[in-house]
Structure 1
Amino acid sequence: MPDYTAIQKDFYRESGKWLSTFEIWKKCINPNLHYIYLFRKAQKSNKKAISGLFWRIVLRHFQIKYGFQIYPETEIGEGLYLGHFGALVINPKTKIGKNCNIAQGVTIGQQNRGKNEGFPVIGDEVWIGPNAVIVGSINIGNNVLIAPNSYVNFDVPDDSMVMGNPGKIYPTTEATNGYINNKV
């Protein structure tokens, strides 16, 4: 496989096709893809350079416009897929792996006190459903499905589904089978 950029890999997740720069620009009419494009540009640029400042200002404008709070400092692996736009909050110290799907209304945040004080680390191939809440210094494994409206403040092993509030873990090797498409 050629050496594709993170932007190309993110857009591949949406279409299943490797796109040229022009084709990527055409797809930026979609708010989710537009935000991912700006996010990756702000991440890649030197924040002390004028171009870095430019991309951060543009990203901030679209954070407000689209309702995404994902900051350039957030470590997110390639193949990010945002299912819908609006009301998405991810703490900048969160770490997210490759090929992750994040739906609308999701909060991934810090816990300020208690045994899980800190920020989540999320593995590869994780599907996070609408309105899920993930908080604290916890580890979410690889191949994990977090069902809509779930509350997760505990570690989740690989190959699992989490459902409910409070969340309950259901082990399965096919947790994200059919949910994570066009992997990079």
Structure 2
Amino acid sequence: MGIFKRMKEDMDVVFEQDPAARTYFEVFLTYSGLHAIWSHRIAHVFYKRRMFFIARVISQVSRFFTGIEIHPGAKIGRRFFIDHGMGVVIGETCEIGDNVTVFQGVTLGGTGKEKGKRHPTVKDNALISTGAKVLGSITIGESAKVGGGSVVLHDVPDHSTVVGIPGRVVVQNGERVRRDLDHHKLPDPVLGQCEHLQAEIDSLREEIARLKEGKQNADNSL
């Protein structure tokens, strides 16, 4: 596909996704998400040719003007749409499929200083809502949705909806996920620790109540 057809395709996505878009001229000049994507394509060409410094310079200039940081090493498919975009961060080893939408404040980042694949893979038709943080070398499945403000640390199945901190699957294949079943789909170490602590507190309260009752009985017998 030629460069101008590709640019028109990018702008067509804006009209499909954003009801506020009015004219191609307006979209071409004022949509920072488009500018960030177009700049990334140029930077990515230099990155693939191992001209890393030039690629990073282009990336940082784009970040300065758009508020969107896309590492030049990230692989991004067609019809990628960044809505508003301020604060979006996309890491070096991210792989993003076709027809993916992300909103402002989204981070597709790593979890440490590990080498190799350390950023998420986002499959086709996924949607990642405002402020969501997707961290580590995990996969967001095809047509999956990540709720606003969620923190996702584990793989998300295809056709699922994830919400919360840490993210848990609440809908899969159009059906709500029951919380008393399929616990492997609801990774939540914080909740598990809280439940353990609550059980300890309940046990201590019962022990204290027994001790108080025994002391009262002893006092009454005197």
Normalised TM-score (structure 1): 0.75
1:62 counterpart SS class: helix
| Equivalent-residue separation in structure 2 for 1:113 and 1:41 (angstroms) | 27
Quote how far apart the aligned CAs of 1:47 are.
6.4
Please say if residues 35 and 66 of structure 2, whose CA atoms lie closer than 8 Å, have aligned partners that are also in contact.
Answer: no
| Equivalent-residue separation in structure 1 for 2:56 and 2:29 (angstroms) | 17
Please say if residues 133 and 152 of structure 1, whose CA atoms lie closer than 8 Å, have aligned partners that are also in contact.
Answer: yes
Aligned partner of 1:179 in structure 2 is none
Please say if residues 126 and 145 of structure 2, whose CA atoms lie closer than 8 Å, have aligned partners that are also in contact.
Answer: yes
Quote how far apart the aligned CAs of 1:170 are.
2.4
Q: Does 1:9 pair with 2:9?
A: yes
Total equivalences in the alignment: 163
| Equivalent-residue separation in structure 2 for 1:138 and 1:101 (angstroms) | 18
2:30 counterpart SS class: coil
Report the structure, 1 or 2, having the larger helix content.
2
Deviates more, 1:4-13 or 1:32-41: 4-13
Q: Greater relative contact order (Cα 8 A, min sep 6): structure 1 or 2?
A: 1
Aligned partner of 2:152 in structure 1 is 152
Aligned partner of 2:84 in structure 1 is 84
Paired residues for 1:52-131 under 5 Å: 53=54, 57-112=57-112, 118-131=118-131
Quote how far apart the aligned CAs of 1:56 are.
5.5
Q: Does 1:168 pair with 2:168?
A: yes
Quote how far apart the aligned CAs of 1:113 are.
7.5
- Rg (Cα) greater in structure: 2
**What whole-Å deviation, never above 9, does each CA across 1:65-94 have from its counterpart, x for those lacking one?**
322110221011111100013111111111
Quote how far apart the aligned CAs of 1:10 are.
2.4
Normalised TM-score (structure 2): 0.63
State the superposition RMSD in angstroms.
Answer: 3.0
1:86 counterpart SS class: coil
| Equivalent-residue separation in structure 2 for 1:174 and 1:104 (angstroms) | 26
Partner AA of 1:37 in structure 2: W
| Equivalent-residue separation in structure 2 for 1:140 and 1:7 (angstroms) | 26
> 5+ residue gaps in structure 1?
17-22, 176-184
| Equivalent-residue separation in structure 1 for 2:9 and 2:174 (angstroms) | 23
Q: Does 1:39 pair with 2:40?
A: yes
| Equivalent-residue separation in structure 1 for 2:7 and 2:173 (angstroms) | 29
**Aligned in 2, Cα 1:24/1:76: closer, same or farther, shift over 3 Å?**
farther
**Aligned in 2, Cα 1:36/1:119: closer, same or farther, shift over 3 Å?**
closer
Aligned partner of 1:138 in structure 2 is 138
Quote how far apart the aligned CAs of 1:97 are.
0.9
| Equivalent-residue separation in structure 2 for 1:155 and 1:91 (angstroms) | 17
**Aligned in 2, Cα 1:155/1:48: closer, same or farther, shift over 3 Å?**
closer
**What whole-Å deviation, never above 9, does each CA across 1:23-62 have from its counterpart, x for those lacking one?**
5796133222222222223224576599x94x75344212
2:41 counterpart SS class: helix
Q: Percent identity?
A: 27
